[in-house]
Amino acid sequence: MSIENVKAYLNERGIGDSYIEFPGSSATVTLAAEQLGCEPDRIAKSLAIKLKSGRLLVIVVSGESKLDNSKFKKLFKETSHFCPAELLPELFGHPMGGVCPFALKDNVEIFLDESLKKYDIVYPAAGAPNNAVKITPERLAEILSAGWVAVTK
């Protein structure tokens, strides 16, 4: 199951104590911000993208950021296509509302958008629609071995 995989992933990297579980839903940026009592832009939303070439990407962006299609296409040489919700568990390893950059399927590439760097702490989901991880953007990049991109407006 997704949440156990994420917890194991976090524990293996020494940040298991950063895991937060909520009594209510955190499946959207607004709901997650309400659960945490923070501004929505601190929510690190994970965009699950399935390219026509077959590449699978998770791009983590700040909560209120929007993907800039021209920047995306210039960088990845393809148009972005969000993965259909019903394929998320099979292709990415997490359900809708719980897609996160942790414990993904092996063939998924992870990128962090520069929009996250404006915050000292951000909150990505943790594999379910009622949890998150409290982490700095720098530590997030380190544990994910993820590169930084600029693909938001």
Q: What CATH number corresponds to the domain at position 36?
A: 3.90.960.10
CB 43 within 8 A of CB 27: no
Average pLDDT over residues 78-104: 96
Per-residue pLDDT at 107 exceeds 90: yes
Model pLDDT for residues 46-74, shown as the tens digit of each residue: 999 999 999 999 999 999 999 999 999 99
Tell me how far the alpha carbon of residue 100 is from its chain's centroid: 4
Intra-chain end-to-end CA distance of the chain, in Å: 34
Sign, CA torsion 96/32/65/15: negative
Residue range(s) defining the domain that contains residue 87: 2-149
**Predicted model pTM:** 0.96
Tell me, what's the pLDDT at 1? Answer: 60
Cα–Cα dist 52/33, whole Å = 33
**What whole-number percentage of the chain has pLDDT above 90?**
99
Q: Which residue has the higher pLDDT, 68 or 2?
A: 68
Angle formed at CA 112 by CA 109 and CA 118, multiple of 5 degrees? 175
- Total domains in the chain come to 1
Tell me, what's the pLDDT at 79? Answer: 95
Map residue 48 onto helix, strand or coil: strand
Average pLDDT over residues 21-25: 96
Average pLDDT over residues 88-97: 95
| Amino acid in the structure at residue 128 | A
Tell me, what's the pLDDT at 2? Answer: 83
Q: Report which of 94, 122, 112 is spatially closest to residue 33, judged by C-alpha positions.
A: 122
Tell me, what's the pLDDT at 34? Answer: 98
CB neighbours (10 Å) of residue 46? 20
Average pLDDT over residues 86-92: 96
Name residues whose C-beta falls within 8 Å of residue 132's C-beta, 6 or more positions apart in sequence. 19, 20, 22, 26, 32, 35, 36, 43, 123, 124, 125, 126
